[in-house]
Structure 1
Amino acid sequence: MILLDKAIKYATDVVEGKEITTKEVIIQCKWFLIDYNKRQHKDDFEFYFDTSEMEKIEGILKLLNFATGLNIVGKTILDGLWGFQAFFLCNIFGWRFKTDKRKFRYRDVTLFIPRKNAKTFICALILIILMLTEDKHSEFYSICLDRELAGEVKKAITQIIQASPVVEKYFKLSTTLSGKIICKLTNSYYQARTAEANRNNSIRPSAFIADEIGAFRDYKNITAMQSGQLSVRNPLRFKLTTAYAESESIMLEELDYIRKVYDGVIEDKRMFALLYYAEDEHKWDDIGLQQANPLRIKENYQEIKDNRKKALEKPSERTEFLTKHMNIFVDDIKENKYIDFTYWKKGELEKIDLEGKEVVVGVDLSLTTDLTAVDIMYKKNGQYFLKSHAFLPEDTLPLRREKIDYRQMEKLGYCTITKGNIVDYLVVEDYIRNIEESNCKIKCIVSDPYNALQMMQSLANDYEVIMLKQTYSQLSPSIKSFRDDVYKGNIFYEKNKLLDWCMSNATTVKGRTTDDILLAKENKNKHRIDLVVAAIFAYSQLYLIDESINIQEVTEDYLNMMGW
């Protein structure tokens, strides 16, 4: 099968290093080869690759012709597809549920790719295939902020159909932007729409493409489209875009989520993504050019090189070059990541035993959107052992931006969901008071004097409670030392995906006049770090124990930290 052979060759070349690309694409290709060659044949793997369905897709591609492009006009699309395009299509249409062969494995699909790489063409091709193969009377849409851009996908569909005489007779085309392209075989249709959320609420999309989502600054249109997919068998959501000079783009949050899936922080079996961009150290060289631009057309590469030369000589053209050719969000503020996540994961244990231990409890309190965190830590032989638990109010679940299944997290024991729209502090207090049921002894409880003073006062009747303000002088030494101990392999924690997620979000902010640091309460994507903050609170009361103090090294910050 030509299409599948191209996809497998592309994935193999990527994994073997023959194809220069990004680390995210390498991971996606590795997953594909493992799933295709091994996992699909195992009973406990819920998906399989349907070669018979792919033969149908290949048959369609034999009948479709290129309408535009260098040296390929009139050529069949099957013959002219590049490896990454074949790989993209095979993953979208090939993987199915074993329990329902008509149900696609992948629901959320992202293609992050710069100009001159046939993004609009692949959009058009996907929609044509869906109109021909999905359930009768299905509705397909593309949404875009700009009216002119919204018409580009429709124009590409029209051009491909008109260049394919065998297929053209099965479609009814429209010349207006709002007009529908109708497939006569299935009575399904495609319509281009501009992104106006209040006008996209009454439709029922089987699939939609959020085109140039990098220009979107909120999720209103995405949410409106998704709300119409509740009763659809295959609610496909495509997000295709180039980078923008836009620091508030929702695509930055999407990229953050996708990378967390690749890093193993979040599990999402139904996400597929290809991220093409120049890595920071290669944004001005030919390696970066190849990483960002998988369409290996000599003429395109020469044009990009010419634009690069101009951008290096003319600073005013650098933003345009980096965003549109290297696929870099120029206004994306580089954050100071707190900890290299690979080092953090080395400390994961299945279980932390508290029996017989003297523990410190760190508490980071919240009311609504933050997580309330309770962390338990003890120290033994210079090593630290940590258990974390989160609390959040039930009524906020539909409003939360993060793509985390908190119901599942609760089933796994990582969090507790309390009734109402604010955290129930009585539940939190009961949890803290029950810690000693593990036959351990609470040495002290450490918290920020921000919320729930009444709860902390109640706990103070039975435990030593330390109120620790989140200031540079009080927390910076602990934050730095905790990070050092992670890198030294001295921090161990009981497996908790919410704690992992918080740690992957953690960034630091630096003092204006000193080298002191604090954890930023939330990162640019408004992702939380509350379980990490609670861990630092607990650590602050443990890391100096049994440590000899050189009086010559005592600083004013240290004295302030100790309250002297």
Structure 2
Amino acid sequence: MIFEKAVRYAERVAAGKEITTKEVIIQCKWFLKDLERQHDDDFPYYFDETEIETIEGILSLLNFATGLGVTGKTILDGLEGFQAFFLVNIFGWRFKEDPDKFRYRDVTLFIPRKNAKTFICALIFIILMLTEDDYSEFYSICLDRELAGEVKKAMTQILKASPYIGKYFVVPKTLSGKIICKLTNSFYQARTGEANKNNTIRPSAFIADEVGAFKDYGNINAMKSGQLNVKNPLRFKLTTAYAEDKSIMLEELAYIKKVFAGIIEDDRMFALLYYAEPEHLWDDTGLYQANPLRIEENYNEIRDSRKAALEKPAEREEYLCKHMNHFLPSNSGEAYVNIEDVRKCKIDSFDWSGRQVWLGLDLAMTNDNCSYSMVTEEDWKIYAESFAFVPTERIPEKNRLEKINYYEFIKQGVCFACGDMTVDYGFIEEMILAIEEKHKVIVVGIAYDRYNCLSTAQRLERDGYKTVEVKQHSSVLHPATKLLKEKILNKEFHYTENGLLEENFQNAKVTEDANKNIYVNKKKSTGKVDMVVSLINAIYLLQQDVIFNPDANFGAQVI
């Protein structure tokens, strides 16, 4: 029953019959596809229907304690489709070589208030305490003592409403007390406080509850370190959005979206992200995207909150964060461009020979990524190539911290390792000086940021190239930033295979200044954006020559 309910939900989402987010659509499609390919020899996982039958049996003996329209029902009968989908994926997928080992290790549920998040937390712990190894330890961590007690409260209510299961649990009255399962001698405990107080525990599974409020990974890392000797560690992150632009959840969401975009491969991650897309923050589409618990009374209450928020600015934070699952303040940065729109601009090949080109440089700190981009124009379409440069001896560290494989991009020829612990500017300069001969082009001009690039610009000038300083200010960068986005959306921007450039686009966040000028903000972006910055610098120069010099005959090849 729960399996069939999960499949129906996935099929409805995949068929476009549910209003939801693109990430949920992808996760549902993956689930349906994996069910088909689980019998393939090269697929390492299988779906254990026997385990799901066990879960189903437990749910049939558990009762809802509270909730609109479900009080007195068994949890099995009252589960919503998305809840069944969530549980089935967590507990059903296993390793073929070790059926006791869960496929999914890192699980995220990003969901607004009033969608039974705490209920799901409680249910997960009750199931784990009944099904995992004897003497297992389970914890929830939360920064706030009152919030930490909510999971324990929900567990207590479910167990008290379920006599056939509740009699096998010991429930203490204090917050710090442990809920103990008498059948397995496993226990659950809510934890708060500093990370160093969680360094001595050994969690088989833990839930980081309300991660949106976390500003560092101290508590989570303490829990993860305690799982080093655990055979089957599970890590859950559950949260609603917060008015906190330093939240670690912003980084988590950026990583998850890269996995869904195919930029990073992580088949041990499962995530359901429910939120209103920016263009739907104030309409019913966003209401349904963000809130998968289909209860009309809740929707009417949220609509009332929306009306109040439109009239009273002081109430907008509550509405946007807690009901639309939208992080605030807005200066946390908005995505520059959808990665799927970028990928529609990819072409198989391009002949650069005989063309006029403009170059853009981004030569940040010598121990960080640097980049140059080359662009040309034909029939008002922009064609581009971008290259990155990284310090050779920092690559292993960068691979680990940025969760991408620079060695693969070096092999593809879109990234170059140069220098040891710092980038060798001389190497980059020699590559730029060889561009005309290598690509059979004429370099019209080179745009650069004065910071960290002055000496390189001076050398290029000595070799006869025209260099133009581009001040990295919103008023200067806005036209080129806007033009590039428009060209991408109109499919008038083209590039050849370059996964690292796509990674940079995925990372790029833009912010507005007081005059509504947008610019790519490196500090707000969720990873390296040097290739996008160098591309915008190059387009700035092209834009000056092509748009503001209408008599120029650009687009034609030079002989």
TM-score (norm 2): 0.82
Query: Separation in 2 of the partners of 1:452 and 1:278?
Result: 41
What does residue 447 of structure 1 align with?
448
**Distance in 2 between residues matched to 1:268 and 1:359, nearest whole Å:** 38
Structure 1 residue 500: Cα displacement: 0.9
The 1:162–1:485 alpha-carbon spacing in structure 2 relative to 1, beyond 3 Å, is closer
Which one-letter code corresponds to 2:292 in the other structure? P
Q: Indicate which of 324, 327, 332 corresponds to 1:326.
A: 324
Q: 1:441 to 1:204 in 2, by over 3 A?
A: farther
Q: 1:403/1:203 Cα in 2 relative to 1: closer, same or farther (>3 Å)? A: farther
Q: Tell me what 1:556 maps to.
A: none
Shift of 1:77: 1.9
Is the partner of 1:519 in helix, strand or coil?
A: strand
Residue 123 of structure 1 deviates from its aligned partner by: 0.4
The normalised TM-score by structure 1 is 0.82
Larger mean Cα displacement after TM superposition, 85-94 or 285-294: 285-294
Query: 2:83 aligns to what?
Result: 85
1:536 aligns with 2:527: no
Q: Does 1:122 align with 2:123?
A: no
SS of the residue corresponding to residue 115 of structure 2 reads coil
Q: Distance in 2 between matches of 1:168 and 1:69?
A: 19
The answer to whether the Cα contact below 8 Å between 1:471 and 1:518 also exists between their aligned partners in 2 is no
Name 1:562's counterpart in structure 2: none
Residues 373 and 390 of structure 1 are in contact (CA less than 8 Å); yes or no, is this contact kept in structure 2?
yes
Matched, 1:502 2:501: no
Contact 2:200 2:226 in 1 (8 A): yes
Deviations 1:117-167 (A, max 9, x none): 211110011122223333444432211110111111122223333443443
Q: Which amino acid aligns with 1:495?
A: E
Alignment CA distance shift 1:510-1:246 (3 Å): closer
Q: Could you give the per-residue CA deviations for residues 489-517 of structure 1, whole angstroms, max 9, x where no partner exists?
A: 4432232222112223435566767x8x5
Change (3 A) 1:373 1:193: same
- More displaced, 479-488 or 436-445? 436-445
Cα distance in 1 between the residues matched to 2:154 and 2:12? 30
Q: Contact 1:395–1:419 (CA<8 Å) still a contact in 2?
A: no
**CA distance 1:400–1:333, change in 2 (3 Å):** farther
Match of 2:372 in 1: 374
Structure 2 SS opposite 1:192: strand
Worse-matched range after superposition: 43-52 or 204-213? 43-52
Do the aligned partners of 1:445 and 1:463 also contact (CA within 8 Å) in 2? no
Partner Cα distance (1:100, 1:430) in 2: 53
Amino acid at match of 2:536: I
Please state if 1:223 is matched with 2:221: yes
What is the CA–CA distance in structure 1 between the aligned matches of 2:297 and 2:480, rounded to whole Å?
55
Picking from 284, 295, 298, the partner of 1:297 is 295
> Which of residues 491, 494, 500 in structure 2 aligns to 1:492?
494
Q: Secondary structure at the match of 1:348?
A: coil
Instruction: Note closer, same or farther for the CA distance 1:521–1:95 as it changes in structure 2 (3 Å cut).
Output: same
The structural deviation recorded for 1:364 is: 1.3
Count of paired positions: 548
1:213 to 1:357, Cα distance in 2 relative to 1, 3 A: same
SS at match of 2:330: coil
Call closer, same or farther: CA 1:465–1:448 in 2, change over 3 Å: farther
1:147-296 counterparts in 2 under 5 A?
147-280=145-278, 282-296=280-294
What is the alpha-carbon distance in structure 2 between the residues aligned to residue 130 and residue 23 of structure 1? 30
SS in structure 2 at match of 1:54: helix
For 1:476 and 1:285, locate their aligned partners in 2 and report how far apart those are by CA, in whole Å: 29
Q: Could you report, residue by residue, the CA deviation over 1:148-200 in whole angstroms, capped at 9, with x for unpaired residues? A: 11111122223333443443454444333333334444444322111522323
What does residue 557 of structure 2 align with?
A: none
- Computed over aligned residues only, the root mean square deviation of the Cα atoms, in angstroms, reads 3.9
Determine if the alignment matches structure 1 residue 21 to structure 2 residue 20: yes
Instruction: Provide, for residues 396-417 of structure 1, a one-character-per-residue CA deviation record: whole Å limited to 9, x for no partner.
Output: 8379865545465556555456
Q: Is the 8 A contact 1:65 1:77 kept in 2?
A: yes
Preserved contact between residue 172 and residue 184 of structure 1 (Cα < 8 Å):
yes
Query: Structure 2: which amino acid aligns with 1:327?
Result: N
1:561 corresponding residue in structure 2: none
Contact 1:482 1:539 in 2 (8 A): yes
**Partner SS, residue 277 of structure 1:** coil
- The one-letter code of the counterpart of 2:470 is K
Q: For 2:330, give the aligned amino acid.
A: D
CA distance in 2, matches of 1:518, 1:301: 34
Query: Deviation string for 1:48-80 (max 9, x for gaps)?
Result: 322222222222222333333345445332222
Quote the residue 1:109 is aligned against: 107
Any unmatched runs of 5+ in structure 2? 553-559
Partner SS, residue 20 of structure 1: coil
Q: 1:234 to 1:452 in 2, by over 3 A?
A: farther
Cα 1:387–1:12, aligned 2, differ >3 Å: closer, same or farther? same
CA distance 1:486–1:180, change in 2 (3 Å):
same
Q: Distance in 1 between matches of 2:275 and 2:410?
A: 37
Could you say if the C-alpha distance between residues 484 and 427 of structure 1 is closer, same or farther in structure 2, counting changes exceeding 3 Å? same
Q: Does structure 2 conserve the Cα–Cα contact (< 8 Å) formed by 1:456 and 1:465? A: no
Shift of 1:484: 4.6
Is the contact between residue 388 and residue 494 of structure 1 (CA under 8 Å) also seen in structure 2?
no
Distance in structure 1 (CA, Å) of the matches to 2:22 and 2:265? 18
Distance 1:377 1:550 in 2: 18
- Alignment map for 1:420-439 (pairs within 5 Å): 422-425=422-425, 428=428
One-letter identity of the residue aligned with 1:198: N
Find the residue that maps to 1:191 and give its secondary structure.
strand
Identity %: 56
The answer on whether the counterparts of 1:111 and 1:275 sit within 8 Å (CA) in structure 2 is: yes
1-side partners of 2:434 and 2:167: how far apart?
A: 72
2:336 paired with 1:348: no
Question: SS of the counterpart of 2:451?
Answer: coil
Correspondent of 1:97 among 88, 95, 98: 95
2:467 partner amino acid: I
User: How far did residue 29 of structure 1 move?
Assistant: 2.2
Other-structure match for 2:556: none
- Given that 1:359 and 1:440 are in contact with CA atoms closer than 8 Å, whether structure 2 keeps it comes out as no
Superposition pairs for residues 514-533 of structure 1, below 5 Å? 519-522=519-522, 524-533=524-533
Q: CA deviation at 1:215?
A: 1.7
Q: CA deviation at 1:547?
A: 8.2
Report the residue type matching 2:289 in the other structure: Q
What amino acid maps onto 2:147 in structure 1?
L
Deviations for 1:197-246, whole angstroms, at most 9, x for unmatched residues?
23233433332211111222233323333343344444332111122233
Residue identity matched to 1:536: I
Other structure's SS at 2:235 match: strand
Task: Give 3-state SS (helix, strand or coil) of 1:31's partner.
Answer: helix
